[in-house]
Amino acid sequence: MLKALQLEPEKCTGCLQCEMACSYENEGVFNPAKSRIKVFNFHDEGRFAPYTCTQCDEAWCLYACPVEAIAINAGTGAKEVLGDTCVGCKVCTIACPFGTVNYNSSTGKVIKCDLCGGDPWCAKACPTGAITYVDADGTGMERMRAWARQGMPPAGASVNAPAEKEIPNYESA
Amino acid sequence: MHHVVIGAGPAGVVAAEHLRKYDPDSSVTIVGGEEEPPYSRMAIPYYLVKRIPEGGTHLRKSSGYYDRMGIDVKHGRVTGVDTNANAVSLDGGGSVNYDKLLIATGASPVAPPIPGTDLDGVRNCWDLPDAREIIKYCEPGKRIVLIGAGFIGCIILEALVASGAQVHVVEMENRMVPRMMNETAGGLIGQWCGDKGIEVHTGTRVESIDEKNGALSVSLGDGGRLDADLAITATGVAPNIGFARDSGIDVDEGLLVNEYLQTRSENVYAAGDCAQGRDFSTGEYSVQAIQPTAVEHGRIAARNMARGHEHYHWGNVNMNVLDTMGLISSSFGLWMGADGGDSAELLDKNEYRYLNLQFKDDVLVGASSLGLTEHVGVVRGLIQSKTRLKNWKDKLRKDPTRLMEAYLANTQAVGHNAHVL
Amino acid sequence: MAWTKKVMRVNLTDGTIGEEPLNMEWARQYLGQRGLASKYLFEEIDPECDALGADNKLIYTTGPLTGTMASTGGRYSVVTKSPLTGTIACSNSGGFLGPEMKFAGWDMIIFEGKSPKPVYLYVRDGHAELVDASEIWGKSVWAADRILHTRHQDPQLRIACVGRSAEAGCLYSAIINDLHRAAGRSGVGTVMASKNLKALAVRGTRGLGGIKDPMRFIRATEEGKKVLREHAVTGQGLPTYGTQVLMNVINESGALPTRNMREVQFEGARNISGEAMHEPRKSDNRPNLTTNAACFACTIACGRIATIDQNHFAIENKPEYWRNSGGLEYEAAWAMGTDTGIDDLDAATYANFVCNEDGMDPITFGATVAAAMELYEEGVITTRETGGVEYKFGSAKALVHAVEAVAGGTGFGKDLGLGSKRLCEKYGRPELSMTVKSQEFPAYDPRGIQGMGLAYATSNRGACHLRGYTVASEILGIPEKTDPLVSKDKAGLVKAFQDATAVFDSSGLCLFTSFAWTLDNVAPQIDSACEGDWSAEKLVEVGERIWNLEREFNRLAGITGKGDTLPPRLLKEAAQTGPAKDKVAELDDMLPEYYELRGWSTDGNVSDETKQRLGL
């Protein structure tokens, strides 16, 4: 079964470990500005929202590409940018209605989440379990629950402590 | 079932692929009017700057791709459609029968009404032969006059300037890219070009082009004259629909289609630059001639052709993204404003940054920007999902850069691909 | 190499900006951030200079692990000469500014001179410019932050800014970054404003590379994170209650200084504790605390995001405060609650908001209000001086009045902006100022935690808990439990904490990791990231070197061993309640041993031998 990134904003503390892990895996440097996942800070409301491509079925970016530079990875289902083919025309950046394809002016090409080939570093680096890599069906369920929760008053303060986990291995990717 | 697609651009190729997917047992034929394998005009500027070889412009790159897909690609220029006989005629006398037909013949540049555009040194910038010709002039010392500062004109500027050529731009309107940028933003693009050594002449037209001593002389309406080795005309395009007249298909600005991209003839559909499809923002039918619309037309038309009318076409958001020598601009939907709507605007002239949002009630209906590259697609998302911004409208009016937050705040709990579009 | 190896030098007097290589010889001796910038300051300014004059310099500095995946690797410091204490000042902050400096390509930004008119520095990667600040001068940090984000059309811009208090000359103004993270103590914000420098706005898109052994580094940081998440304090206590986990604990230990340190226990502590922040309010059934929040790279997330009751008198007509912002940390809750005898959680939270909004150190602010309250109750000052408000202990109204007056630099706020030392001197009662070297104590009474008395007395920036936190050992048993009521053997403990702290403060890491980490956990992270060999032993030596360098700076500034003392109240007036009943701070029992362990003379000067041993 395909797996997907499950994002649970209510567990996010805004630490940006995901952005660093992402940029290191993809760019070889710690650089949140080039991260494919982004944490948004709703300061006045006191909440955070990690956000990235969910490899949507519609694949607006893929079809909008005029040079076939975005392709589906059969193993992961990720829509991947083929760096050698991308000409940097940016049509995909306006076509993606979720705003998750960005132009990288230093390379002249676009960047988006590719699920790190099936071992996403953001999920490994997230200390609180706000980003997990799970069976794709689960993410739909979680969204339904989020939908149900929407509009309900908070029961109390939300406290996000580090989640138990083994030390992840980053070398396999 | 035989699906025939006329036109081998993005709309045609994407439609053929989806016809194959939705109707695996059918036969699918693409009839392309050019000698080339199906290629993308969007990629031509990058070919001009030599970022990609000519093959890099091809829509599908692996060899034998169309054979493997079971798509028959034929070369031929369509001369007419017989909707009674379900057949298209080709120049040279052949014809192709269809059960369902998709017309995706695209558009062609319109020659401006200027004496001298037939001279040797005057070219369009539209297809690969044009590009091959222009590339010959891309060298230091050559003098190039670009007539028309629209989307195509701006996008090839970088290639022309990078070659070391001396470049003049002549635009009839009072600013660059007048059909996607307002005076503020279009003016800034002009200033940006000026900073990069381009001579920009706005608010004046080219009166005539003459040849003198093997070079061109371009006469301007303001009395000026520009000597040139090459003049490129980029003053607009029009749908390739001449062959469809008198065929029982309604023709206006482009081919008229209904909400299923079907023409008046039951078995004939149209997509892409030649189709006068529904505009999401206005609800009216117009020719958009942009890449995202072309491919979405292709997908929707294919689905409706193969599976019956199950995909209603709500219309496309007209949008563009343009890189004018490193200055990135974009425009979406009703960027010029909506009746009874209001707007928010941010300008930083020194940094060439601009952001203009247009609202109708608490819904974003349009936007234009300079220098915005982060999460820019969410503008389309907000427009097309008609997201009610509620209290976020006020926040956006104070700080329009918080677009992505506004989007997430109003949709995140739902999950961003949970049928919000 | 984890350092970017580049320093930006901004001359505010003539408006020039230059770039120079980081002095790597010094980096090998002082690591980064606090240590390295102190070395720069030591070499570049006359320690006797006027802290608010053009000759003082202001250094924004990061550590080698700032901007990396190391947990809490997001710290920066501001190093300068303090206008409050006259000592070297080094104030450390989290948030997101420090990493942004690194991502833009800079380890350090040195400001020198004084701008002829208000400016701010805008940095975008290699581009830096001084921009006219007339639009934001005279505005609060929060207002300026909004304006700069909008003006530069960049939600990701990271901003450090001073508030109106600093412009008005308050001597304990902080530099606030990311709206509510503060380089809080010693008046570094006052120095910034004195240079007509309103803000630093940074955006970095280059990123930080050059990690010496990336896979070993990431492994080491993951092992470090595991230790943090499995430790009771960093894995549970801090995320759940923040530093406010301490309020009830310290109160029960009889070491919670109350009403200007007249008492050591507060009957209202429960009402302003971390636990209380979780309890639903009667009026709207919402707790004060909304959520916890992390600084950059932090896997602990002790930060508090809180709201104030909309019906509270402080904000009932001020909708701009009807939203979330940075909530109470323990020291702030203590200073503006316990030390003033106020157990009104919402009033303290409001005062905390305003301290962030207009850039004041809440510890010194609260303690100065406490001193003013004692002056008032003693009849030394009256409503004539305070502007009509009764400054009685326990008066939330006085607190709200005070914080608004200091924020805006108006009325009695001018007096309060002097800090308690100068305030009490002005009104002829210097002994009522609870300070060391003119800086106010934080929230641990040395009568109940003896080690802290020595730590305060010898701190290189005046009274401070962040220069040697023996509370960890004496109360929490980290790394091992010592008796808080005993002064014996505390000299060695204080020295060990002081030196280790200097290392944490120079690395880019947060000191709070030291609840769970020793330098044995830190060394592998530094060693795999940075060129050179970095063992725990070497780091201890670096820490000691930094401590002695700061001490030398202070001696040259005219602040000697004579200043290593405590106010008479703590030395003579015994605690009246709790476990520390009848105890005074036994500083005299510890100080000589401390000097000896440090290798200093009996009057507290760094000896030549020690200098030589440490390469000073």
In the three-class reduction of DSSP (H, G, I as helix; E, B as strand; rest coil), residue B69 is classed as: helix
What tens digit of pLDDT does each residue of B173-203 get?
999 999 999 999 999 999 999 999 999 999 9
What tens digit of pLDDT does each residue of C288-344 get?
999 999 999 999 999 999 999 999 999 999 999 999 999 999 999 999 999 999 999
- CA count, 13 A, side-chain hemisphere, C373: 31
Give, in degrees to the nearest 5, the angle at Cα B175 between B174 and B180: 125
What pLDDT is recorded for position B411? 79
What tens digit of pLDDT does each residue of C543-554 get?
999 999 999 999
Q: Which of B230, B229, B226 is nearest to B207 (CA)?
A: B226
Q: B399 CA to chain C: closest CA distance, Å?
A: 6
Categorize the per-residue pLDDT at C196 as very low, low, confident or very high, splitting at 50, 70 and 90. very high
Q: A120 CA to chain C: closest CA distance, Å?
A: 15
Residues in A closer than 8 angstroms to B295, CB to CB, are 63-64
Q: With 50 as the cut, is the pLDDT of residue A173 above it?
A: no
> What average pLDDT score do residues C584-597 get?
98
Residues in A closer than 8 angstroms to B332, CB to CB, are 94
In a domain, A157, yes or no: no
CA C518 to chain CA centroid, Å, is: 21
Do residue A59 and residue A104 come from a single domain?
yes
DSSP labels for A92-117?
A: HHHH-TT---EEETTTTEEE---GGG
d(CA A55, CA A78) in angstroms, rounded, equals 6
Whether the ω angle into residue C479 lies within 30 degrees of 0, i.e. cis, is yes
Residues in B closer than 8 angstroms to C149, CB to CB, are 399, 401
Which has the higher per-residue pLDDT, C56 or A154? C56
Do residue A37 and residue A8 come from a single domain?
yes
Q: C130 CA to chain B: closest CA distance, Å?
A: 14
Categorize the per-residue pLDDT at A57 as very low, low, confident or very high, splitting at 50, 70 and 90. confident
pLDDT < 50: residue spans in chain B: 414-421
In a domain, A66, yes or no: yes
Give how many domains chain A has, as a whole number. Answer: 2
**Can you name the CATH fold of B2-108+237-307?**
FAD/NAD(P)-binding domain (3.50.50)
Instruction: Name the average pLDDT for chain A.
Output: 88
Q: Which amino acid is at C262?
A: R
Q: B55 CA to chain A: closest CA distance, Å?
A: 10
Q: Which amino acid is at C615?
A: G
What pLDDT is recorded for position B213? 85
In a domain, A166, yes or no: no
Q: With 80 as the cut, is the pLDDT of residue A102 above it?
A: yes
> A91 and chain B: CB distance < 8 Å anywhere?
yes
**Closest by Cβ to B57, choosing from A9, A57, A67:** A67
Query: At residue C374, what are phi and psi to the nearest 5 degrees?
Result: -65, -40
In a domain, A168, yes or no: no
> Per the CB < 8 Å rule, is A17 touching C297?
yes
Question: Which residue range(s) make up the domain with A13?
Answer: 1-52+117-150
Do residue A106 and residue A73 come from a single domain?
yes
pTM, to two decimals: 0.94
ipTM of the complex model:
0.96
d(CA B165, CA C345) in angstroms, rounded, equals 70
CB contact residues (below 8 A), chain C span 479-508, against chain A: none
What pLDDT is recorded for position C4? 97
> C214 and chain A: CB distance < 8 Å anywhere?
yes
Using CA of residue B191, residue B192, residue B198, residue B203, what is the dihedral sign? negative
Q: With 50 as the cut, is the pLDDT of residue C272 above it?
A: yes
Q: Which two tokens stand for residue C521?
A: 């956990």
d(CA B334, CA C254) in angstroms, rounded, equals 68
Q: Which amino acid is at C162?
A: V
**Closest by Cβ to A156, choosing from C215, C239, C278:** C278
Among A37-51, A133-147, B337-351, C489-503, which is the least confidently predicted range? A133-147
What tens digit of pLDDT does each residue of C222-264 get?
999 999 999 999 999 999 999 999 999 999 999 999 999 999 9
In a domain, A162, yes or no: no
Residues in C closer than 8 angstroms to A158, CB to CB, are 290-292
Strand partners, B270: B103
Q: C542 with C409: CB under 8 angstroms?
A: no
| Helix or strand (DSSP H, E) at A123 | helix A121-125
Name residues whose C-beta falls within 8 Å of residue B92's C-beta, 6 or more positions apart in sequence.
B76
% of chain C at pLDDT higher than 90: 99
In a domain, A161, yes or no: no
d(CA C162, CA C167) in angstroms, rounded, equals 8
Closest Cα in chain B to C153:
B401
Do residue A22 and residue A65 come from a single domain?
no
> C272 and chain A: CB distance < 8 Å anywhere?
no
Q: With 80 as the cut, is the pLDDT of residue C86 above it?
A: yes
- Phi/psi-derived region of residue A4, left when phi > 0, alpha when psi is between -120 and 50, beta in every other case: beta
Do residue A128 and residue A45 come from a single domain?
yes
Quick one: three-class SS letters along C29-70? HHCCHHHHHHHHHHHHCCCCCCCCCCCCEEEEEECCCCCCCC
Do residue A60 and residue A105 come from a single domain?
yes
Give whole-number Cα distances, C615 to A46, C554, C557, in Å.
48, 18, 21
| Domain regions of chain B by residue span | 2-108+237-307, 122-233, 326-414
% of chain C at pLDDT higher than 70: 100
Strand partners, C258: C263
What tens digit of pLDDT does each residue of A71-100 get?
999 999 999 999 999 999 999 999 999 999
Domains of chain C: 6-203 (3.60.9.10), 258-433 (1.10.569.10), 440-557+565-614 (1.10.599.10)
Q: Which of B79, B69, B80 is nearest to B38 (CA)?
A: B69
Do residue A86 and residue A132 come from a single domain?
no
What pLDDT is recorded for position C1? 62
Residues in C closer than 8 angstroms to A14, CB to CB, are 293-294
CATH class of segment(s) B122-233: alpha beta
Q: Do domains B122-233 and B326-414 have the same CATH topology?
A: no
Q: Which two tokens stand for residue B350?
A: 């020194």
Name residues whose C-beta falls within 8 Å of residue C91's C-beta, 6 or more positions apart in sequence.
C77, C78, C174, C175, C182, C183, C184, C185, C186, C188
Give whole-number Cα distances, A13 to A10, A100, B30, B147, in Å.
8, 21, 53, 54
> Per the CB < 8 Å rule, is C155 touching B401?
yes
What pLDDT is recorded for position A146? 53
d(CA C446, CA C264) in angstroms, rounded, equals 10
Which superfamily does CATH assign the domain made up of B326-414 to?
FAD/NAD-linked reductase, C-terminal dimerisation domain (3.30.390.30)
In the three-class reduction of DSSP (H, G, I as helix; E, B as strand; rest coil), residue A79 is classed as: strand
| Substitution target from B60, B158, B295 for chain A, most A beta carbons within 10 A | B295
Neighbours of chain B (3+ CB pairs under 8 A): A, C
Do residue A47 and residue A123 come from a single domain?
yes
Neighbours of chain C (3+ CB pairs under 8 A): A, B
Q: A165 CA to chain B: closest CA distance, Å?
A: 26
Do residue A24 and residue A35 come from a single domain?
yes
What tens digit of pLDDT does each residue of A106-117 get?
999 999 999 999
Q: C240 with C433: CB under 8 angstroms?
A: no
Q: With 80 as the cut, is the pLDDT of residue A158 above it?
A: yes
Give, in degrees to the nearest 5, the angle at Cα C131 between C127 and C134: 165
DSSP labels for C469-509?
A: -THHHHTT-SSS---TT--TTHHHHHHHHHHHHHHHHHHT-
The CATH number assigned to the domain holding A108 equals 3.30.70.20
What pLDDT is recorded for position B212? 87
**Closest by Cβ to A91, choosing from B42, B375, B415:** B42
What pLDDT is recorded for position C304? 97
Give, in degrees to the nearest 5, the angle at Cα C121 between C115 and C123: 155
In a domain, A155, yes or no: no
Taking only Cα atoms into account, the Rg of chain B, rounded to an integer number of angstroms, comes to 23
**Closest by Cβ to B408, choosing from A40, A54, A64:** A40
d(CA C530, CA C212) in angstroms, rounded, equals 6
**Closest by Cβ to C215, choosing from A34, A164, A170:** A170
**Closest by Cβ to C152, choosing from B348, B374, B398:** B348
Q: C404 CA to chain A: closest CA distance, Å?
A: 21
Do residue A3 and residue A81 come from a single domain?
no
